[in-house]
Each structure stands twice: as C-alpha cells, then as structure tokens.
Chain A
C-alpha cells in the first residue's frame, strides 16, 4: 500500500535508538538479523558437535569388521549411518552458512536488515523444532528407514523423522528466500549484481539452487510418507524401508552435495583479497565461476532410485561430475592470482595495494596465515579434493558407484564447507558478536579440522578402489549381505582405522571451536571496526554493528570493494 506514494525520508537515528532487550525474550521476539543469525550459528555448531561424535562412533564400528560391537544390529547402525549423512547436510552445513549469511549479507549489501525479518526469525525456530523432532524420533527408533523390519512404534518414529526432516527443509527454504531477496532487492545505491561482494553472491547462487532443488526433496518425503502411512506396508518389511534412504540419498551425493558447498568459493573470494591487502584480481571471473559451480550443483533431477538401471552411465550425471572440478580450480586460481599480484607488488615496490593494512611482504604473509586465510585455503582445497573424488567416481572403468568413494566425496565436500563456515565465523566475529575469537586457537582448530577431513576422505577414497561398499559391510554379516564382499578386507580395515583417526581429529577440532566461542563470550576487549582491512560494506560500520547496521546510509558504491575506493579518495584529497 505504501508503495503507491513516495517513500518517507530515512531516519537512521530511529534505528539506533531502538531499545535493546536481551535474553530469552529477545530470542523469542527479535527481528534483528544479527541475533537471528546467531541463533542459526549456535544451532549449527551444536549439531556439528553431535554429528561428528556420531561420525566417530560409525568409523570406530567400521574399523572392526568382525562384530557389531557398538550398534548391536543392522537397524541401529543404519539409523545412525543415515542420521550422520542427512544431519551433516541439513542440520550442520546449511544452517552454518544460513547463519553466517543472515548476519553478514545484509551488511555487505548496505541494507539495514534482512528481507522479511519475521519470516527469517520464524525460519530459525522452525528449524530448531524440526531438528528437535528429527533427533528425538531417531533416538526413539525412527530414522530414514530400517533394513531389518520395524515395529509399529518404530514406524511412527520413522514417520516423525520424515516430518521433522520436512520441517527442517521448509525452514531452510524460508531462510533462503530471505537471504536471496536481501541480495536481489535491498542493495544500496550503485551496487549492481556484479558489484555484490563474493560471499553475498555465492549465497545468492546457493540459496537459488536450494530453492530449486530442496522442494524436490519435500516431494520425495511426501511420497515416502504417504507410502509409509497408507501404502501397501512394504516399508515395515525386512529390507523394505531401506528404500526410504535410497529415495533421499541424492541429497548427500554429487551433484546435490556440491550445492551446500557453493559458499566455500564465496568465503575464499572474500577472504583472499583481504589476506592479500588488495582488490580481487579476477572479481568478474570469480563471479562467473561461482555461478557455474551453482549450475553444476543442481541435483534435484538426479534420482537414481526412480531412474533405475545403471545410473553411473547417465550422461548428464557424468558431465556434471567431470566439470564440477573446473569452477573450484578456477576460483582457487583467481584467489592465488590475487595473492601472487600482491607479492609482486611487494617485491617491486608498486603501490597497487591499497586499503588499511597494506604493508610489507612480511605483513602480507602474516595476513595469509591468519585464521581466516588458512581456513579459506584449507576449505577450498578440501572442496577441490571432493570434486576430484567426484570426478573419479564418474569415470566408468573404475566403477566406483556405490562404494566408499561416494562417502569420500560427501565428507570432503561437506567438511570443506564446515571449515569455510568456521573460517567465516572467525573472520566476521567482530560483526557477529563484537568480539575477536582467539587467533592461536583458531589456527590450531582449523588445521586440525582440515587434517581430520583429509584423513577421513582419503581413507574412504582408497577403500573405494578396494571395492568397499558405501554402507558398512561388516554389519551386513548379521543379516543378508548387502554388497559384494570386498576383495582386500585387511587393507580396508587399515583404511577404516585411518578414517576413525580422522573422525577423532574432527571431533577434537569441533570441541576446540566450542571452547574458543566460550572463551570469546567472556571477553570484553574492545574490537576495531575494520581490524583486517576488509574491503566491503560490513567493515564500514562499528563492531558490533548498531541496530539498523549503519549510523548513516552508505555512500554510493562504484566498485566491488567500496572501502578501497574510500581510502583512495581520501588519499587523493590528502
């Protein structure tokens, strides 16, 4: 209705003067995107801790193929096997990026708040409720199917898991709409889409892909639910309800799993220029590559359960698998180019490097080895490893489909995303919470996480070549064999021990993250507005930002690095 008249004049003092309330009431009623984002991040970190602990238990179980030591039965094993996979995607990676984007993206585009803040707030609570229903129902014997028959109560629990998963997906879709609309509609003057910061751009691409593909998962869930509650009852029979996981498995496999890692390229593109202390050397290329990666990550069409036959021979599936490496490699190349040009500037004494923090080569290396610098590089390399494993998986002569190679792709890609999200949390901590996170602890944590993910991914990748099936082969001994017996079981067991070591390292890393967050929460040390020489608008406001984000509206943007433009203008005036 108000759109029919000229808009009223801005009064940012109103925003700054809004009363601040804290505690439970605030968490229940807030419409401030920063507080909503923090709720997402807390949920994501909590789920990360739980998922990685489940991951350790699964790998430890795998490491001893002679007995069902921990789970004691195929159904329990299958429950937690599927819970780990879907949990890592839907309860960990997606919420971490949604949380980061909810806090950072509105500031990056110069908006005073996220679009549809009440919907964004409703989404985070719906996520928590959906996640709660999912976790409780899995603990009550539910999950995404069972292989050895289920009781009536367990059927109800499975149905609850399905509706819980659906709620989680709906909440992610709602949050995606808020984030995408913010980037599309709330940009400040002069910021066309090509000038949008790379993280915001990557979130626009990622949320668009999620909006295209996650409703397909909702459709899968609806079909499964109807079959489970009113169908012929095959889901309660031995082996029958394994089809539930099979119908949803595409969510955690390539190409869809790449969709959850699109923001890794955004984090890399955002942090590399800051670490280099200069503009991104290939901003337009990076924008195009992120878009291309998004295109190759659209996975809703990939439904092996329904398409049947030898799915690994699907032409489009193979093409997506082969080409997904290129945008990742290109993005790493563009970031490297940016850093290399900075090094050349330092060597040659050129003055291309601008902005706060520009200094000597030593300072440049120091910034590169900062927590966020290390994290961004580590995350990108993990993603590269994941897409390379995905490439190997679609090479026909190797016949890696259905083997642990698929697990390697998932773990490498998703832990790459986790590392990127944690690097982002460290990087934007002054804007998220108004505090610095401990740097030394951050380096240790991120190196530990990367090392753990490499061990986990490498073990699964090698096991795949040894014909180890994706689903725990040792448990199959207690019921009907699910897959062919591996050719070299001893070597696979060694690989499983290596994988278990990696999983333990990951849990230690996550515990380190929790400890660092707890330590920072007690800190009252003042934080600079722009401690790292950031180039985008979120660094133009105070740390923590005020309600409404900016004390005065940002100036008209003329490039992708507006703060560097300001510095240059100031230099020319001087």
Chain B
C-alpha cells in the first residue's frame, strides 16, 4: 500500500516540518506560532522557518503523488498491469517537446535582438515545454507499460492541457478577428462578422448532420479556417486600424439615450 518512495519522502517531509517547528521555537517563536504557521503566535526567524517548512510540505506532496500513482513500487505496478514481474521500459517515448523547446529558445534569441514580443513568446513556449517535458519524463518511468504510462500522463495533464490550449486558441482567434474588424470599414466589419459567423455555423451544421465525415476533412477544414483568421489578423495588424471619428462625451451621451 505505502510505497518505498512514499515512506522516504513522507519521512523526509515530517522531519523537515519537525525541524521547522524546532527552529521556530529556538529563534524566538512563542505560543502556538511555529505549530500554527504564525496563526496563534510568532514563528521566530522567518526565512529559515519558511524554508524548512516549505521543503517539508514539498516532500510530503511528492510523497502523496508517489502513493497516488504507485510510483517506485514494482509490486504495485505489476499488480496494476496484471503481470508477475514488470518489464523495464528502456525506451524514452517519442516527443515533440524537445523540438518545440528548441524553437522556443530560438525565438527567445531572435526576440532578444529584434522584438520583445518575440522574446516573450519564446519564453512562454519554453515554460510550457519545461512543464510538459517534466511530466513526460515522470510518466515514462511510472510503470513498465508504455500504454499505461501514456494513460497516466494524460490523466494528469489532459485536464490542464485541453482548457489551456482551448483558451489560447480562443484568445488568438478573438484577437485576430478583432484586428480584422478594426482594420476594415464599418460596413466591411459587418460583412466580415456576418460571413465568418455564417461560415462557422455552416461548417458546424455540416459536421453535426453528417457523423461519418472523414476526420482528415474535419481537421483540414478547421485548419484552413484557423489559418485564414490568423493570416487575416496578421495582415490587418500590419495594415493598421481604420480612421475613427471620435465624438465628444455629450454627443455620446445623447446617442446612448437615443439608443435606450
């Protein structure tokens, strides 16, 4: 039940937490401060107490992860896989992240010279790659079965990846579309908004009504739409916004009242 890894890290965490309490009381902590993390009294010297307690909490978190995913316990893994002895997973699974990371670093380097936005983009890419790479490495060693590792990895990461990717796509789509609408004339903006809405609706209806549609056609259609929106956004950004006629506040107020 409790794996060796769990025992090690839980013990380490408890020891560090005990050390933090001891350190707190010996450096000026009073009442229940060191035991209640400062809620009922002083904790003593802040930096050392925080460091020790932080490390202790981290170790205990790792311990919980280990017991939850049955890591570092060949017997538990063998039970999970339904075999007597688990095989060694000597192969590291194929991954896009090293390449993506390389491009992220490249973007940072180019951005350093040419434009801050490119640098920040590269930085964000590198941060994402660091997290994904870490999780892939952990999952590769979780059990001896690559398929089980893949499932395990997706169980942890999919709830984060899918919403994050979705939000990023929506944000990029909204930004690109807004640039297009701002760059075209008033009438043009209405036409673009109408055509894009109808297109999205038409494509959605088509896919809903025909369940046997080829996945490649589906992916291709979405890709073309996405590229069109992005390309339009980039072109519109380069072109710049149309000239706006700004009315004074009173007039806006009158318009607002009329509107109401």
Contact = CB atoms under 8 A, between A and B. Distances in A.
B170 interface: no
B144 interface: yes
Nearest to B86: A8
14 contacts: A1-B72, A2-B71, A4-B5, A5-B3, A7-B88, A10-B88, A12-B90, A13-B87, A14-B87, A29-B95, A122-B97, A159-B112, A163-B113, A170-B105
Interface in B66-116: 66, 71-74, 77, 85-99, 101-103, 105-106, 109-110, 112-114
Given A4-B72, A125-B98, A117 B112 contact: no
Contacts of A565: none
A547 B92 CA distance: 11
B72 A2 contact: yes
B19 to A, nearest CB: 21
B91 A113 contact: yes
Interface string A99-140: 000000000000011000111011001101110010000000
Nearest to A164: B109
A559 interface: no
Contacts of A5: 3-5, 72-74
B88 A31 contact: no
Contact of A118 (B74, B90, B97): B97
B187 to A, nearest CB: 41
Nearest to B8: A4
A574 interface: no
A181 interface: no
B106 A130 contact: yes
Contacts of B89: 14
Contacts, number: 126
Contacts of B138: 1
A9 interface: yes
Interface residues of A, number: 44
B137 interface: yes
Nearest to A7: B88
Residue among B8, B86, B110 with max Cβ neighbours from chain A (10 Å): B110
B85 A121 contact: no
A166 interface: yes
Contacts of A547: 91
Contacts of A156: 113-114
Q: Number of contact residues on B: which range applies?
A: 35 or more
A166 B72 contact: no
B74 A122 contact: no
Interface in A1-50: 1-2, 4-15, 18, 21, 26, 28-31
A92 B223 CA distance: 39
B133 interface: yes
Contact of B85 (A8, A15, A30): A8
A18 B89 CA distance: 11
A9 B89 CA distance: 9
Contacts of A126: 102, 105-106
B82 to A, nearest CB: 15
A459 interface: no
A117 to B, nearest CB: 5
B94 A31 contact: yes
Interface in A146-190: 156, 159-160, 163-164, 166-167, 170
A18 B91 contact: yes
Interface in B132-147: 133, 136-138, 141, 144, 146
A242 interface: no
A548 interface: yes
Residue among B4, B89, B102 with max Cβ neighbours from chain A (10 Å): B102
B106 A167 contact: yes
A133 B85 CA distance: 50
Contacts of A12: 90
Interface string B118-134: 00000000000000010
